[in-house]
Amino acid sequence: MNPMQIKIDEARARGKMGLIPFLPAGFPDRERFWKELEQLDAAGAAVIEIGMPFSDPVADGPVVERASLKCLDDGVNLAWIFEGLKARKGRFRAALLLMGYLNPVYQYGLDTFAADCEAGGVSGLIVADMPYEESGFVKDALKPHGVSLVPLVGLNTTRERMALYADGAEGFCYFVSVLGTTGQRDALPARIKEKLAEAREVFDIPIALGFGIRRPEQVAPFAGLMDAAVFGSALIGHIEAGGTSAEFMAPWE
Amino acid sequence: MKKGYFGDFGGQFIPELLMPPLIELEEAMRTILPSEAFRTRFDQMLRENVGRPSIITHCPHLSRDLGLDLWLKREDLNHSGAHKINNTLGQGLLAKMMGKQVLLAETGAGMHGVATAVAAAMLDMKCVVYMGATDVVRQAPNVGRMRLMGAEVIPVESGTRTLKDAINAALRRWIADQENTHYCFGTAAGPHPFPTLVREFQQVISKEARQQFLDRNGRLPDVVVACVGGGSNAIGMFHHFVPDQSVRIVGVEAAGTGEPGCHNSAPLNLGSDGVLHGMLTKLLQTKDGQILPSHSVAAGLDYPGVGPEHAHLQAIGRVDYTTINDAQALNAFQVLSRREGIIPALESSHAVAYAIEHKDELQGKSVLICLSGRGDKDLGILDQIL
Ligand SMILES: Cc1ncc(COP(=O)(O)O)c(C=O)c1O
């Protein structure tokens, strides 16, 4: 079983929600990034999602975009990310997941990328700009290295398309809470409920809800329908305002 | 061939959340486009609102100066001053018949934004245009035109603040507003089905020009030329000439200042394979796959990618893609104005410059150039060149 699923299942077995914090690689700076990861890990993250910065992040809102562009300015690239991960291999209890856009991965070389994921202890990948129809060649490259492509579905994904994504999916299913980009929102749309229920039926892996999430109260109405929560912009905002990852995680544990 | 691909290029590299509107659009292309109701209304709009067919014009003085036989396909004479309106009226009518209320667009030079604003006003729809903050300044007259026609123009401050960032912003908006909004993409690029849809609306350029040239000269031109930004006027100008093996086809990209290593807008000449804005195509990028800032004196060519069909036509060797730099384009801008009394857009000036710079190899040849737009929007540049 993919380590991402194992970790989320463990949290569920303890009666908790699986926690999936997101930080762009190199945020808030290249040194502190690794310390934040350690804090997130110590605070009980099930999966840590690491953003691979891209110049043109169309699925992201202003907070993630700004943070990612700053990381790029600081010289963050895939080689730097994998170097750091390899040096720390085995030190994280949480499963590791890389998230980004196709082009940097494509230029790095898919086979090298997959091999480096394995060498760096990464068990999953999210490609924000790659729907099912285009994903075959990426899945093929990841498979021999035990890396799973995490499917993203949302409020406008039909049951038929969910079924395409569910076939052979491992790790967890990322359910996007809004028709929109990443970023904090005060309220989540009520119609999430029926769509989440549908995803539950179609997928036999854990379901994580993401986009716009900050506080546990926000997801309370959906507690029975989801297994994990992803938070990115809110965590970035908290760190930018001078807070620490540990503080941010506290209300969730 | 894989669906939505031109050879190895194209595809649908967009978030899953955008697949439903793209599938809906593909379905509408299948059902609405061929319908009698669409065809009749669209033909009427092209005749009575755009002024089609656009004429071809012989350039007697430049022909003599250069030692060749120079002709222009006059897309600059279309209502709103460029080829862009062929596409926006087509997509606008399609969107209207799909039941959409809002036309969303990105724009670089502002010509596509203006043409979308025209379509929205004509079809009684709402219009929202994203435009890079840099372009808002350098193409200010077009911002005024859009606003006058009721469009909401939103300056984009992120990234390089030009066309590519305007496309990012428009895609984000479309994710949120897909229910009532059609994204009226401005060039023959982006995710499938846009490259095919935009070509469908722009192929009228070569459909007319080929017949007009034949009627006038009794033969086909030796060379057909168009400037390439995202590639819509070029694919429109090339489409019906592609099967004519006797016709040499030339696409002209913008080289920027032309100095080695300068920012440019020539991904077919200077870029490499990559994925941006929904397509696998030629891109200007770093070795890490980050998209490079582009530059051209012509805002409408200032884009680090290109439509996938052009990448394919280059790969199979059917079309030659070459470059013209800022200074050569500015020279052509002045030469065509002075010698023929036609002020071309700076984008189109790149195509005209090709004939000027390559006159030696073109001696005695007939050359048909797509004059994609008029230059009124570019008069601000006069301070810099006169
Ligand atoms: C007059 C004119 N020509 C050409 C272009 C370039 O676009 P495309 O390559 O899609 O024809 C533009 C874009 O704004 C334009 O305004």
Chain B: give the shortest CA distance to residue A211, in Å: 13
- What are the residues whose beta carbons fall under 8 Å from the beta carbon of B88, sequence distance 6 or more? B103, B105, B112, B115, B116, B118, B119, B184, B186
Instruction: Give tens-digit pLDDT for B138-184.
Output: 889 999 999 999 999 999 998 889 899 999 999 999 999 999 999 99
Least confident interval from B133-142, B228-237, B312-321: B133-142
Q: What is the pLDDT of residues A240-253, one digit of tens each?
A: 999 999 999 999 87
pLDDT at A88 over 90: yes
Quote the domain boundaries for residue A19. 3-252
Q: How many domains does chain A divide into?
A: 1
Interface of A with B in 79-108 (CB under 8 A): 101-108
Q: Is the pLDDT of residue A185 over 80?
A: no
pLDDT score at A190: 82
Nearest CA to CA, how far is A61 from chain B (Å)?
A: 8
Residues B227 and B337: their CA atoms lie apart, in Å, by: 18
- A54: chain B residues, CB-CB within 8 Å: 289-290
User: Residue B2 — very low, low, confident or very high, per pLDDT cuts 50/70/90?
Assistant: confident
Q: What is the CATH number of the domain that holds A164?
A: 3.20.20.70
Mean pLDDT within B358-362: 98
Establish whether B227 is a catalytic residue: no
Domains of chain B in start order, with CATH, are 5-46+84-199 (3.40.50.1100), 51-81+203-385 (3.40.50.1100)
Provide mean pLDDT across the span A103-132. 98
Residues 6+ positions from A194 with CB-CB distance below 8 Å: none
What is the CA(B349)–ligand 1 centre distance, in A? Answer: 11
Point out the residue among A107, A134, A176 whose CB comes nearest to the CB of B289: A107
Separation between Cα atoms, residue A191 and residue A208, nearest integer Å: 16
pLDDT more than 70, % of chain B: 99
Binned at pLDDT 50, 70 and 90, residue A210 comes out as: very high
Alpha-carbon gap, residue B97 to B31, rounded angstroms: 11
d(CA B156, nearest CA chain A) in Å = 12
> Which pLDDT tens digit goes with each residue over B53-71?
999 999 999 999 999 999 9
pLDDT in tens, B119-128: 999 999 999 9
Catalytic position from the list B83, B239, B295, B350:
B83
Give the dihedral of Cα atoms B308, B314, B318, B321; nearest 10 deg: 110
Grade residue B200 by pLDDT with cuts at 50, 70 and 90: very high
Q: Which of A5-14, B56-65, B132-141, B318-327 has the lowest mean pLDDT?
A: B132-141
| Residues in B 118-177 with any Cβ partner in A closer than 8 A | 158-159, 164-165, 168, 171-172, 175-176
Distance CA B198, CA A184 (A): 36
Nearest partner of A54 among A28, A80, A24, judged by Cα? A24
| pTM, full prediction | 0.97
Beta bridge pairs of residue B254: B265, B324
Q: Phi and psi for A133 in degrees, rounded to 5?
A: -55, -30
**pLDDT interval class at B25 (50, 70, 90):** very high
Q: Check the CA dihedral B341-B342-B343-B344 and report its sign.
A: negative
* B290-315 confidence digits (pLDDT tens): 999 999 999 999 999 999 999 999 99
Task: Check residue A184 and give its pLDDT.
Answer: 73
Counting atoms of ligand 1 from 1, which one is nearest the CA of B228? 9
Q: What is the pLDDT of residue B386?
A: 67
The answer to whether residue B6 scores a pLDDT higher than 80 is yes
Contacts of A28 (CB under 8 A, 6+ apart): A36, A67, A239, A240
Q: What distance in Å separates the CA atoms of residue A81 and residue A100, rounded to the nearest whole number?
A: 13
Measured in Å, residue B364 CA sits from the centre of ligand 1 at 29
B48: exposed, middle or buried (C-beta count within 10 Å: 0-12, 13-18, 19+)?
Answer: exposed
Smallest CA-to-CA distance from B306 within B198, B209, B208 is with B198
Pairing of strands B102-107, B181-183: parallel
- Bridge partners, residue B130, by sequence: B106, B154
Cα B204 to Cα B29, B145, B237, B238: the distances in Å are: 17, 26, 8, 10
pLDDT of residue B21: 98
Greatest C-alpha distance within chain A = 45
Q: What is the mean pLDDT of chain A?
A: 95
Pocket of ligand 1 (CB under 6 A): B 82, 108-109, 111-112, 187, 227-234, 300-301, 345, 347-348, 372-373
ipTM value > 0.85: yes
Of B209, B186, B208, whose CA–CA distance to B197 is shortest? B186
